[in-house]
Amino acid sequence: MAKDSPQKSQDIETMGRKPKRGARKKKGGRRNGEKQVAPAGCASSDGEGGSACAGLQMPNIECLMRQVIPKDVTISSRAKQLTHDCAVKLVGLVADEASEQARAQHRRTVKPEDIKSSL
């Protein structure tokens, strides 16, 4: 059996379609060999990280802040960052407490009642 030629493997990648005009091939996905790293504070000590930070992005926090703060008041970037950090910490504490309650009852699923009682 003959080995696949470079042309054949290239055809498999494009599935028989012609590349778009001006399109370049992706090489690795990241610019300049950058690695994707979770922001500080997102990774927990047990190795499970990022899940709490995924839903608490800065624009979301800023939008929530703007809903309760008067329109003529500006929010400093430091205040936004501090609010974000506090929100992440609060979610983590509530989730830990709810998880402990579920484990105490020999369950592997956290129920809404666990969240409510942990607050």
Give the CATH number of the domain where residue 82 resides: 1.10.20.10
Instruction: Give the pLDDT confidence of 8-23 residue by residue, as tens digits.
Output: 555 555 566 666 676 6
| 94 found inside a domain | yes
| 32 found inside a domain | no
| 22 found inside a domain | no
| 80 found inside a domain | yes
Instruction: Give the pLDDT confidence of 63-113 residue by residue, as tens digits.
Output: 999 999 999 999 999 999 999 999 999 999 999 999 999 999 999 999 999
| 45 found inside a domain | no
How many separate domains does the chain show? Answer: 1
Cβ atoms < 10 Å from Cβ of 36: 6
pTM of the full structure:
0.53
| 85 found inside a domain | yes
Instruction: Give the pLDDT confidence of 32-60 residue by residue, as tens digits.
Output: 554 544 555 554 444 444 454 556 899 99
Domain that holds residue 87: 75-119
For residue 77, the number of C-alpha atoms closer than 13 Å in the C-beta half-sphere is: 0
- Please give the DSSP secondary-structure letter assigned to residue 43: B
